[in-house]
Structure 1
């Protein structure tokens, strides 16, 4: 009898409980942690558990964002069918009707305004296959030169600086596995503890091994708390700070003379320039005491091994390219590049920030980091695509410059993929006003974001659980995201949407792919012989090896763990050093009597980019459900700002209202606001539209503002 009962209960248990697993990668930061989502069904209720999976970069680690990512992918507000705006309201339509509408609009605009009147605004969160396809779509299906992507606001300064200095950009010149062996590490403008939490064990292990860590940041972040030396620099003065360090290194005879002579060019001009500089003047300008600058310079120069890492704090400035180049001048002057535990890392922000900039979304770029203005590159890619080189458009303009062309009426139709420029761009009020002028605006996304609200048609994108493809992580490691969950409703894979639109426009023969792998195989061919050479990487290898560091020029090649061991990528094989003036070419929005405080922006751990996804996660949103302003208590007293009250922040361009948060971790002349909220809490309403003249990066990190209490008797103070 007991045996029969046990058998009965086991049968019933099987009836009421089942389990499915989905292998994927976290959709958020550039660590691209491998993970598995376990879906358990108990009676009619589903329960989800995310667990990390072993991989070469993050060793099975996950942070809070990865563990809760499924909450947005499964959210009830997710778009699961095409939406067309009729009489000011979005209504459900069939794919056929949506595609027909798109065809009619594009044909009409291009007949009236020309091919370049339709633009494409891409993303660094999509797969390599989709980034590649989007570039091909713009140039072959639309025949427009106007394509750029949101990575322009994230990685362009570091990528440009690396290309100018080394001759190529792979983000990291060394594998992450070398970090624990570095004797000194400099982190400039990087809050990895909150932005890339699963990278932290590498730095913690380095610290345990005796590494000396230097952090350059106006705020005492969670990352700065692991530092042996924190240089609390004034926002926007990183290039000048680097000049002071260079002056000390050179004048105290700490340079690597042999390395400089054999493997660099341009050092003599730097040496002459820094002799004209005053340590005292730069110290006053940067707000960092001379003794601290000296300590950092000497320590970085004298240790046998050392690594430099930069991120948005340094790069998102109107002289971001120059600031990174000057920090690279330091690295090169002491010979800490191309060797074990010696190198540079630009810590990518977005999930596919590295891969998305390599294969054709950028205005001046073709796949494999080829140049759209180079005749040989044009001929090669045209042959891969089955068109003539004469049919390829020339280079376009950067992301924000595209918005300006929208405002001016030069671009009248726009495709937007998985991005939210109304929140992410500077001078956000202007961006919103510009997009409202479009004759036609199509958005491909998971949700109706602040930007998607303005669209004429929205097409439902697939999530990280459903969309298979490759991503290139922070260290330049190509990884395969084996997403296997079926798409919900009428959702289509992003690459399929691109192909379907191309088909509707009569270009289907160029986009007749049946799988992401088929697209990747064409990408491999397109990248062959280019700087970012993926030709030796296959899906089969990625499944077996877990990830491969490019360049990988043939299938028997193991991938390249360390760059520049023997030579740099310039024609003369040398690293190019250059003089970086203390005064930037573009005047920064510095404090004035009317706007007396620096504003700087950044991220907090629970959220990602403009928050479209993470604000849909109850577990993440609960940790930071509204924006805030960090302010030093002394500064708060000056402006009569109590703790945890609503504050109005104003710049020359607009105003926002957020809640105050007292902290002694920030400079008294600076306030900090995170970037993850829209509408009345959109900090980018305040940021100037000035761009880095070299890479067109906006100056998100330096903005002058004034603050005042915001009185509202109903909502002003928390109980």
Structure 2
């Protein structure tokens, strides 16, 4: 029996793995407070991929001339990879090699990947798929609070709130075990509000469903602040003593009177007033955003608008209240803290900070001046591949960008333009199928490593079984490349040794892990960062006394609504939005291969009024067209979506052929959640 955690979302639910003959069974683990033994169907079936016939167990090298794959040894594969990386670097410069990581990588892997890029390759060209998940909330959190931690309180605190507002979150499908905390809050009389263009399973459990036009969560927040201010609901003492910058925010909100908000968002004035009154009714109000609010070209501004509302009500730092971001990927939090983002070094240090560079370089045993500077954000990086002066190679770990990136047709073109594409994966994903070299790596039950869940709780996934012959860990892969390139520093393949180095590198940073070790995590069921030393208790709740800016104050940041980059028009008259469904996860590379999870394929959800207008019938194929491409899939005619909106899940190839690649200027987040579309039969 091995106590560990689920391989999927940011809850990182506790579970126990038990060997039963040749199989590995999942059992409930009731002592972990996030899920208390509950798991969703993905968690219960998480071991299914181990027995898949599609599991990769040997390195593969593709001959571009014949498009044929050849199985090779690990040494041969790493010799090919390192040799070609060295030639590209010598001929085109260090930035001609690029690296792309993922929010599902353990902290150890994310840390080592950033080190590999900056020390072994000397490139500034590194980013990861978390740029497409939590980056807008991260940017807003850093601006407002001076720190980015998804939830600044334990998830169980939700049970003690009196009002919970979920903006763009469908946790009943994306992280079902978390719903128990909402249900307990409601049992003790709390009101749950869901803001979403679709009436989801989460909205079905709510006391109020607010159904705005896609891309208008920002003016909704501005309008609510307008009403709160007009009613005298601003916590003036809190604003005066714990914040700065409110005057500009107050002025911006003054322009968003209820009737104007109604015209832009589609939300009736009466419901706006009802929600504003509810927000002022209790000191225990929690506001939490997720991808529905954040995956926009103005996603950072949208999150800041909801943070401004929370600060005006005096919520952050108050017991059982505040603002939080519901992180999506399994290590979405830790993955963005330790160096696989283009602008960061371990400990959430910024790469352009001389003191940060000196500290990390000292841990790595290299000169600070040798570390490259800030690179490109994820989509910008992908669009630069194979261009004049752009990267000629790409190493991909923990990401299926051929499915998950926006405007995937353009991404495929850029991948094809590379001299070398190397993909490490457990199956032949859509991205791996395009690669020159595919490296088979361990999956979650076959390795040990830490993750940081949505609460900022650092937990330990423990190895339960030996990986198949021919499979190696990502740490071994990175060490093999670094050693062949003659890289400075040390390159351990032992996850605990790598984590101990990470602790030293993070010491003194905003995400300080210095006091967190494997033994302590096991003893305490996880430790909350920041935790600067072994005697520190960890920090389950942030902001009780001060924020992370130098003066201890939170910052109001004035924002205004500009609208989606692609407004609807005569040619493209409806809004397209995308999202997840219960049985699938991310690009579906893993979940679509587990036989016990229903694989419906893509579908198009539309309202009966829209179906009538275009002549669509439930179950029959319809076409969704945007300025980037066309998807044809069965229609699902439902009354739970706005008549001016269609929804497509993104787990299958096709959805992101349609989505906009407009980027948030602050976070680099693409506008996945709204673009203009046409629906035809």
What TM-score range do you get, normalising by the shorter chain? over 0.9
How far apart, in 1, do the equivalents of 2:167 and 2:680 lie? 31
Matching of residue 706 in structure 1 with residue 681 in structure 2: no
CA contact (8 A) 1:254 1:302 kept: no
Instruction: Select 1:558's aligned residue among 537, 546, 550.
Output: 537
Instruction: Select 2:85's aligned residue among 106, 123, 134.
Output: 106
What secondary structure is seen at the aligned counterpart in 1 of 2:201? coil
1:38 aligned residue: 18
Matching of residue 322 in structure 1 with residue 322 in structure 2: no
How far apart, in 1, do the equivalents of 2:493 and 2:278 lie? 55
Matching of residue 615 in structure 1 with residue 587 in structure 2: no
2:453 aligned residue: 473
Instruction: Select 2:416's aligned residue among 436, 451, 464.
Output: 436
1:358 aligned residue: 337
What secondary structure is seen at the aligned counterpart in 2 of 1:302? coil
Q: Using the TM superposition, give the Cα deviation of residue 272 of structure 1 relative to its aligned residue in structure 2, in angstroms.
A: 1.9
Matching of residue 697 in structure 1 with residue 669 in structure 2: yes
CA contact (8 A) 2:482 2:491 kept: no
Instruction: Select 1:144's aligned residue among 98, 107, 123.
Output: 123
Q: Using the TM superposition, give the Cα deviation of residue 118 of structure 1 relative to its aligned residue in structure 2, in angstroms.
A: 0.4
CA contact (8 A) 2:347 2:506 kept: yes
Q: Using the TM superposition, give the Cα deviation of residue 467 of structure 1 relative to its aligned residue in structure 2, in angstroms.
A: 1.5
Instruction: Select 2:581's aligned residue among 561, 586, 604.
Output: 604
| Runs of at least 5 residues in structure 2 that lack an aligned partner in the other structure | none
How far apart, in 2, do the equivalents of 1:438 and 1:456 lie? 10
What secondary structure is seen at the aligned counterpart in 1 of 2:421? strand
- Alignment map for 1:104-253 (pairs within 5 Å): 104-253=83-232
CA contact (8 A) 1:22 1:465 kept: no
Instruction: Select 1:261's aligned residue among 216, 232, 240.
Output: 240
CA deviation map 1:560-595 (0-9, x unaligned):
0110111111112111112211225xx521211001
How far apart, in 1, do the equivalents of 2:466 and 2:502 lie? 25
Instruction: Select 2:602's aligned residue among 614, 624, 627.
Output: 627
How far apart, in 2, do the equivalents of 1:309 and 1:202 lie? 14
CA deviation map 1:515-547 (0-9, x unaligned):
100000000000100000000001010111110
Matching of residue 665 in structure 1 with residue 640 in structure 2: yes
* Range moving further from structure 2, 459-468 or 402-411: 402-411
How far apart, in 2, do the equivalents of 1:421 and 1:81 lie? 22
Matching of residue 421 in structure 1 with residue 401 in structure 2: yes
What secondary structure is seen at the aligned counterpart in 1 of 2:533? coil
1:375 aligned residue: 354
* Range moving further from structure 2, 24-33 or 635-644: 24-33
How far apart, in 2, do the equivalents of 1:52 and 1:123 lie? 27
2:622 aligned residue: 647
How far apart, in 1, do the equivalents of 2:399 and 2:214 lie? 27
Q: Using the TM superposition, give the Cα deviation of residue 685 of structure 1 relative to its aligned residue in structure 2, in angstroms.
A: 0.4
How far apart, in 1, do the equivalents of 2:508 and 2:149 lie? 15
Matching of residue 593 in structure 1 with residue 567 in structure 2: no
Matching of residue 59 in structure 1 with residue 39 in structure 2: no
1:713 aligned residue: none
How far apart, in 2, do the equivalents of 1:489 and 1:383 lie? 37
If you compute each CA radius of gyration, which structure gives the higher value, 1 or 2? 1
Q: Using the TM superposition, give the Cα deviation of residue 514 of structure 1 relative to its aligned residue in structure 2, in angstroms.
A: 4.5
Q: Using the TM superposition, give the Cα deviation of residue 346 of structure 1 relative to its aligned residue in structure 2, in angstroms.
A: 0.7
2:428 aligned residue: 448
1:13 aligned residue: none
1:4 aligned residue: none
TM-score between the two structures when normalised by the length of structure 1: 0.93
How far apart, in 1, do the equivalents of 2:490 and 2:166 lie? 43
How far apart, in 2, do the equivalents of 1:592 and 1:512 lie? 55
Instruction: Select 1:80's aligned residue among 40, 49, 57.
Output: 57
How far apart, in 2, do the equivalents of 1:559 and 1:74 lie? 39
What secondary structure is seen at the aligned counterpart in 2 of 1:566? coil
Q: Using the TM superposition, give the Cα deviation of residue 48 of structure 1 relative to its aligned residue in structure 2, in angstroms.
A: 4.3
How far apart, in 2, do the equivalents of 1:390 and 1:555 lie? 32
Instruction: Select 1:536's aligned residue among 502, 515, 532.
Output: 515
CA deviation map 1:181-225 (0-9, x unaligned):
101111000000000111111111001011111111000000111
How far apart, in 2, do the equivalents of 1:487 and 1:31 lie? 25
1:3 aligned residue: none
Q: Using the TM superposition, give the Cα deviation of residue 328 of structure 1 relative to its aligned residue in structure 2, in angstroms.
A: 0.5
How far apart, in 1, do the equivalents of 2:255 and 2:19 lie? 65
What secondary structure is seen at the aligned counterpart in 2 of 1:223? helix
How far apart, in 2, do the equivalents of 1:189 and 1:276 lie? 24
| Runs of at least 5 residues in structure 1 that lack an aligned partner in the other structure | 1-20, 710-719
How far apart, in 1, do the equivalents of 2:138 and 2:26 lie? 33
Q: Using the TM superposition, give the Cα deviation of residue 47 of structure 1 relative to its aligned residue in structure 2, in angstroms.
A: 4.5
How far apart, in 2, do the equivalents of 1:140 and 1:270 lie? 43
CA contact (8 A) 1:129 1:519 kept: yes
Instruction: Select 2:25's aligned residue among 49, 56, 60.
Output: 49
CA contact (8 A) 1:22 1:485 kept: no
* Range moving further from structure 2, 361-370 or 549-558: 549-558
Q: Using the TM superposition, give the Cα deviation of residue 58 of structure 1 relative to its aligned residue in structure 2, in angstroms.
A: 1.7
TM-score between the two structures when normalised by the length of structure 2: 0.98
- Alignment map for 1:330-341 (pairs within 5 Å): 330-341=309-320
1:714 aligned residue: none
CA-based RMSD of the aligned residues comes to 1.1
How far apart, in 1, do the equivalents of 2:250 and 2:149 lie? 28
Q: Using the TM superposition, give the Cα deviation of residue 49 of structure 1 relative to its aligned residue in structure 2, in angstroms.
A: 2.7
Matching of residue 343 in structure 1 with residue 319 in structure 2: no
Q: Using the TM superposition, give the Cα deviation of residue 137 of structure 1 relative to its aligned residue in structure 2, in angstroms.
A: 0.3
2:652 aligned residue: 677
How far apart, in 1, do the equivalents of 2:493 and 2:532 lie? 25
When residues 309 and 683 of structure 1 are mapped into structure 2, their CA distance, relative to the original with a 3 A threshold, is same
Q: Using the TM superposition, give the Cα deviation of residue 493 of structure 1 relative to its aligned residue in structure 2, in angstroms.
A: 1.2
